[in-house]
Each structure stands twice: as structure tokens, then as C-alpha cells.
């Protein structure tokens, strides 16, 4: 049986309400729309770097990172020092007064992006950031239609839900006016497969077709995740974004990269997901990993596009809050100083290599894909690629029992998602692969 790598951290004794009491309170006082993982949900009360601890002190390797949000590590000491200092000095004023944190963080953040992407708007979440991105695209271009991709997830606010294209996350209410959805460039399940070297160009034709035959001909923008996260780790094929961006700009639109999951070095090869696709967007949307666990989002764009927002005052009470910015800045410094991007690349390659070996061993592994520490394993029942949704849940459960927390995604919930904090080590990857090997053997015998 695989053993978790050694860890010196000892969590404090938990003295709060029992798990059963918490479950009861949650059932009574919280929305029934909340979901939990596992038949017997776990309660997590401590976190240290790549590890989580339940109320009994049981340790888990976190391979979900709070849905791709813990970038530098849970309660990373350097991040905590900065945020605790800020917390005890000043928590909130809004942007009506000057404060150094918002300004220094904006400068540091833009230094990671190509020249031209120099103006930052801070928000509190990815949904808010996407709403703002679409508002800006429309204000700047004076066009209305926006193209997003099917199978995308861009958030759950009224506006962002319109961009999202998964019935699982959409309510039957009016939302997201003027949003058109182009085909998902999914090479595992779509019309053009991995064996087609021109799949990217072919999928991008659908964007052009939508502009010409589905819109007024002039569009405000195009938004895409460089790797669809919630949608099940769907990478954009080579040349797809290049062609799509060309068509969009030809129709007067701006190009928006939703880097909420792919940013901050997670994909290893580059700091930003769009860089893996050889494109430069006009606007970049960030959240999750930017704050390493605090409510923080941002839209970064050009000075020219940002100017369009001066027609009215745009105000966000908590956007750019001194505490969130202290946390964002410290997280970014840690990610850069500790070369977490390099770690994501090295360990991501090792992980994907190990998963390829598992794919050769277990027929239920239909596809292994992703980049760096953003990896998906699509599980199937047969040669027709029937989604193995139940098996995915069983694997998730057994991994948890063995101390490994894994995520899931994809429309059918049949894609295991591995997106750990980027501070994990080679020993953690060995553990992860050993657990998966044992669990696949057990669940498929
Ligand atoms: N964009 C992407 C790519 C996401 O994955 C998410 C959240 N899963 C969002 C936007 C929305 O972010 P938030 O939940 O912070 O509103």
C-alpha cells in the first residue's frame, strides 16, 4: 500500500463541532444546491502546503487545490506572514484613497504579461472578472455579440453563466444575452481527432462560420480558456486560437483569455496558458490561483481598451482590497522566487509520463491529457468511449481512502482532474501514481 511522503507539520488539535453536527447544520441552513464529494463527505480543517488534514488529523495529498485555486501552497508561510501583517494593520478602505498594495501588485502582475497588457481591474472572483471583461469588450468595440465555446465554464453570475456552456451549471432563466457558442475543439470526442494535423484550423472555421452566419457580422469579443478546466481538461489544438483570434479580430472583436485555471505557471511550459498557443490576447481574466485561496480576481487589458470604461465610474467595493492584494502579491512573489512554473513543468512531465504507462495497462483510461500540473484522465467503459461515470466516482472514493484527493470534471463527470498546489514534490507524484495504479487495479478487476 502506497505511503504518503513524510511531512513534519502537525496540525493543531481540532476542538470544534463534530463532522456530524456540521453536516446537520449544513443540511438545515445552507442551500440544497451545494454538492459535496464522496458518499461520506470529509471535513477539512487544516492545510499545509500540498497537504490537507481532516478533523481527526488524517492527512491527504491535495490534488485538486480547492478547484485549481491553491497555487503556492495551503497557508504558505511567506504568504501568511504578508497577509497577517496586513490584516492587523488595515483591512479595508476601498479605492477612494491611495494604498500601496493595489498599486505595487498591479505593477508586479503586469510584469508577467506581454508588453501592452498593462492595465489591471481587480475583482473578487472569476465570474465578476468575466462579467467585467465582456462589459469592456462591448464598451470598447461598440459591438454586442460575444463568442464563447461550448463546454466552457466561465462562472455562475448572471453574465458569466451566459458564457458557460454546460447544462449542468445553467438555469433555465434569461441570461447572457448576445452570447454565441462555437464548437468545442475536443480532439478526443469531436469531429476532428488527434490524428488530424489540421484539427485546430478546422475547429476554428466554426468560429468564422458563427461570425458570418450566426452574428451580425461584427462582434465584441471571443473568450476561451487555453485549456478548458471544468469541461474536463480540453486543450486547444495547435493553431486553433491563432486562427480563431484572426477571424475575431477581422470582425472587429477583441480576444479574451480566461486564465482563471491555466495562469500563474500551472501549465509549466509558460507562465500563461495563451503563451502555449502562440497568441497574445487583448484581455486576460484571472482568479483562483492569483490569490492562493483568497477571494481575488482581475482583468488585465491594454490602455486603449481600458479607456473605454471611463465613460462612467466603475466601482467595486472590495476589488483591490489591501488584504487581498497583500495575499496576491506575496503569492506571486513565492510562485516566481520558488520557480513553481519550473516545478509544474518537471513534475507535470513525470505525472503525465506515469499516467501514459497506466493508460497502457488499464483499458478504462481512454485519454490522458493536459499540461504541467493541469492534467485530465478520461475514463471510458468500452471502445465506443461510453463515459465511465460510476467508475470515476468509485476511483475518487478509493483514492480518498488511501490519502489522495483527486478532482473530477467533464460533461459526464468521467474525467479525473489532477491540479495540485504547485509546491508538491517528486515523492508526492510517486505516491499519486502508486495510489492510482493500486486503485485502478482494484476498481477494474
Ligand atoms: N473561469 C474559469 C475558467 C473557471 O474555472 C471558473 C471557476 N471554476 C470561473 C471562471 C469562475 O470563477 P469564480 O468561481 O471565482 O467566480
Contact indicator for 442, 405 with CB cutoff of 8 Å? no
For a mutational test of ligand 1's pocket, the pick from 126, 160, 257, 298, i.e. the residue with the most ligand atoms closer than 8 A to its C-beta, is 126
Q: Establish whether residue 126 lines the binding site of ligand 1, counting it when its CB lies within 6 angstroms of any ligand atom.
A: yes
Give the chain's residues under pLDDT 50: none
H/E element, 25: helix 19-29
394-431 b/e with 16+ CB inside 10 Å = b? Answer: bbbbbbbebbbbbbbbbbbbbbbbbbbbbbbeeebbbb
How far is the C-alpha of 170 from the C-alpha of 154, rounded, in Å?
11
* pLDDT tens digits for range 6-20: 999 999 999 999 999
Using CB atoms within 10 Å of the CB of residue 260, give its burial: 0 to 12 exposed, 13 to 18 middle, 19+ buried: buried
Which residue's CA is minimally distant from atom 10 of ligand 1? 154
260 lines ligand 1 (CB under 6 A): yes
CB 133 within 8 A of CB 299: yes
Q: What is the pLDDT of residue 48?
A: 98
**Cα 122-124-127 angle, rounded to 5 deg:** 100
Cα four-point dihedral sign 362, 365, 366, 367: negative
What's the CA gap between 230 and 249, in Å, rounded? Answer: 27
- Report the nearest-CA residue for atom 1 of ligand 1: 154
Q: Is 294 in the pocket of ligand 1 (CB under 6 A)?
A: no
Residues in contact with 310: Cβ distance below 8 Å, sequence separation at least 6, in sequence order = none
* 153 touches ligand 1 (CB under 6 Å): yes
Query: Which letter does DSSP use for residue 171 in this model?
Result: -
- E-strand stretches of 199-267: 219-224, 227-228, 234-235, 254-258
Q: How many residues does the chain have?
A: 445
Q: Does 151 sit in the ligand 1 pocket, CB within 6 Å?
A: no
Which atom of ligand 1 lies at the shortest distance from residue 287's CA? 15
CA distances from 72 to 11, 22, 101, 323, 424 (A): 19, 29, 19, 17, 9
- Taking only Cα atoms into account, the Rg of the chain, rounded to an integer number of angstroms, comes to 22
Q: How far is the CA of 154 from the centre of ligand 1 (A)?
A: 5
- Tens digits of residue pLDDT in 128-157: 999 999 999 999 999 999 999 999 999 999
| Cβ 375 under 6 angstroms from ligand 1 | no
Cβ of 225 closer than 6 Å to ligand 1, yes or no, is yes
Query: Is residue 154 lining ligand 1, measured as CB closer than 6 Å?
Result: yes
CA distances, 178 to each of 172, 209, 436 (Å): 16, 16, 43
For the chain, how long is the longest CA-to-CA vector? 64
* pTM more than 0.95: yes
Cβ–ligand 1 contact at 189 (below 6 Å) = no
To test the pocket of ligand 1, the residue of 260, 272, 319, 324 to mutate (highest count of ligand atoms within 8 Å of its CB) is 260
Taking the CA of residue 288 as reference, the ligand 1 atom at the shortest distance is 15
Please state, in angstroms and rounded to a whole number, the distance separating the CA atoms of residues 324 and 221.
Answer: 29
Beta carbon of 155 within 6 Å of any ligand 1 atom: yes
With b meaning 16 or more CB within 10 Å and e meaning fewer, what string describes 73-105?
bbbbeebeebbeebeeeeeeeeeeeebebbeeb
Q: How far is the centre of ligand 1, averaged over its atoms, from the C-alpha of 257 (Å)?
A: 12
Cα–Cα distance for residue pair 292/74, rounded to 1 Å: 8
Verify whether ligand 1 is closer than 6 Å to residue 266 (CB atom).
Answer: no
Measured at the CA of 159, the angle between CA 155 and CA 162, to 5 degrees, comes to 75
Amino acid at each position: 500500500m502506497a505511503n504518503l511522503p513524510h511531512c513534519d507539520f502537525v496540525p493543531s488539535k481540532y476542538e470544534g463541532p463534530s463532522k456530524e453536527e456540521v453536516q446537520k447544520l449544513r443540511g438545515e441552513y445552507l442551500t440544497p444546491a451545494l454538492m459535496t464529494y464522496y458518499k461520506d463527505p470529509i471535513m477539512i480543517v487544516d492545510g499545509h502546503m500540498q497537504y490537507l488534514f481532516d478533523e481527526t488529523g488524517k492527512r491527504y495529498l491535495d490534488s485538486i487545490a480547492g478547484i485549481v485555486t491553491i497555487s503556492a501552497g495551503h497557508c504558505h508561510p511567506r504568504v501568511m506572514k504578508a497577509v497577517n501583517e496586513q490584516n492587523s494593520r488595515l483591512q479595508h478602505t476601498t479605492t477612494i484613497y491611495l494604498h500601496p498594495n493595489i498599486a505595487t501588485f498591479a505593477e508586479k502582475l503586469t510584469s508577467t504579461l506581454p508588453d501592452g497588457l498593462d492595465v489591471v481591474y481587480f475583482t473578487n472572483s472569476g465570474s465578476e472578472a468575466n462579467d467585467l471583461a465582456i462589459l469592456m469588450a462591448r464598451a470598447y468595440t461598440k459591438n454586442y455579440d460575444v463568442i464563447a465555446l461550448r463546454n466552457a465554464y466561465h462562472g455562475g453570475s448572471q453574465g458569466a453563466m451566459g458564457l458557460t456552456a454546460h447544462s449542468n451549471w445553467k438555469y433555465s432563466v434569461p441570461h447572457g444575452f448576445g452570447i454565441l457558442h462555437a464548437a468545442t475543439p475536443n480532439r478526443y470526442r469531436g469531429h476532428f481527432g488527434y490524428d488530424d494535423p489540421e484539427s485546430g484550423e478546422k475547429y476554428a472555421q466554426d468560429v468564422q462560420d458563427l461570425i458570418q452566419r450566426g452574428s451580425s457580422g461584427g462582434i465584441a469579443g471571443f473568450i476561451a480558456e487555453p485549456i478548458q478546466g471544468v469541461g474536463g481538461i480540453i486543450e486547444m489544438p495547435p493553431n486553433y486560437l491563432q486562427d480563431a483570434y484572426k477571424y475575431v479580430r477581422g470582425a472587429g472583436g477583441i480576444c479574451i483569455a480566461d486564465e482563471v485555471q491555466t495562469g500563474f505557471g500551472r501549465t509549466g511550459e509558460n507562465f500563461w496558458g495563451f503563451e502555449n498557443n502562440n497568441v497574445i490576447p487583448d484581455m486576460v481574466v484571472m482568479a483562483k490561483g492569483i490569490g492562493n485561496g483568497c477571494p481575488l480576481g482581475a482583468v488585465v487589458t491594454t490602455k486603449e481598451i481600458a479607456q473605454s470604461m471611463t465613460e462612467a465610474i466603475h466601482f467595486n467595493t472590495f476589488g483591490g482590497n489591501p488584504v487581498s492584494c497583500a495575499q496576491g502579491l506575496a503569492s506571486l512573489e513565492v510562485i516566481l522566487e520558488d520557480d513553481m512554473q519550473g516545478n509544474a513543468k518537471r513534475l507535470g512531465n513525470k505525472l503525465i509520463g506515469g499516467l501514459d504507462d497506466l493508460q497502457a495497462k488499464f483499458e478504462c483510461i481512454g485519454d490522458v491529457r493536459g499540461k504541467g500540473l493541469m492534467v485530465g484522465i478520461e475514463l471510458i467503459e468500452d471502445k465506443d468511449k461510453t463515459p465511465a461515470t460510476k467508475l470515476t466516482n468509485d476511483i475518487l472514493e478509493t483514492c480518498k481512502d488511501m490519502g489522495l484527493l483527486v478532482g473530477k470534471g467533464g460533461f459526464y463527470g468521467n474525467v479525473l482532474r489532477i491540479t495540485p498546489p504547485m509546491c508538491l514534490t517528486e515523492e508526492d507524484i510517486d505516491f499519486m501514481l502508486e495510489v492510482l495504479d493500486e486503485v485502478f487495479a482494484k476498481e477494474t478487476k
